[in-house]
A and B are shown apart, each in its own frame.
Chain A
Amino acid sequence: MSATPADLKFLESHEWARLESDGTVTVGISDHAQRALGDLVFVEVPDVGKALSKGAAAAVVESVKAASDVYSPVSGEVIANNDALGAAPELVNSDPYGQGWLFRIRPANQAEFDQLLNPAAYEKVVADESH
């Protein structure tokens, strides 16, 4: 199990968000989420330039078993997406907090980021779910 990096924030729906030094926000799915989904075989990321609102379906991750929506943790414009996942969706399984990132947003409102769950609160969500 990957340790949860302390600099991340989370949505209850298992997305992570990291505030970069340039003020942009990188988004992915948590280690818990990738393990629950199983081997990923297809990832659909949002186009650069797309405007997302917080909580909107932004990407799709598909495991052998099922397709799941990924929701945007913050509102803003997509400024990058992870091309590498087209050929190697399994990066989300092997490195969910690193090479398995999905897309990057220029946030419209930093307060939305601050309101996300901290790692301890997210881990509690995961623990409660498994009961």
Chain B
Amino acid sequence: MNFVTGYCRLNEDFCAVNGEVISRRHIDSEDSWFKQIYKEQEFVYPKFYKMDLLSQAGFLGAELIKRGNLRVASSYPDDEIAMIFANGSSSTDTDIRFLRSYEGNSSPSPSLFVYTLPNIVLGEIAILNKWYGENMFAILPNFEPGFFINYLNITKAGGSKAALCGWLEILEGKVDVFLFFVEENEETGTPLNAENLTSLFNQKPSIN
């Protein structure tokens, strides 16, 4: 049986880990919202500054889940954690930025172009963690627990023992991100089913 053993929720206003707010957006900050979190949480990974917003969100969610669940980084061989991500608008936010880079007479930006694929965030998390496991990025109209549950089943049958799952919807200022880690037989977690996933997705976090 599968259990959710860590999760991170990130929207335009707050970032919460396992149901507790760890950061709130300061509207008057000079830094972008994701950079505020990065600095507040004292992450040190300079590549973060080169990433697009989708990859930054994936980085923050994955790293914050790891801090709250030490098994993520230590209990699995390098190819047994699958990554199953989805969203509604693919890499459109960065696509628009790349399109703007060559409007007029300017040259298309190669550093933006490489982020015009939604699965790049999977590559970034894989590189950081040296994870050689299975990857999937799907485009769905809405957050759909059934997709994750079905895909987890077929991935487990293929030998993956755990999975980092994510819904990462980022478009023109809108932020709706939910990452969760799934393990077998870790009964301290929340049993993985559609009802529980929906309620974790919709959960109002408490302020610590």
**Do chains A and B interact in one complex?**
no
| B-binding residues in A (CB < 8 A) | none
| A-binding residues in B (CB < 8 A) | none
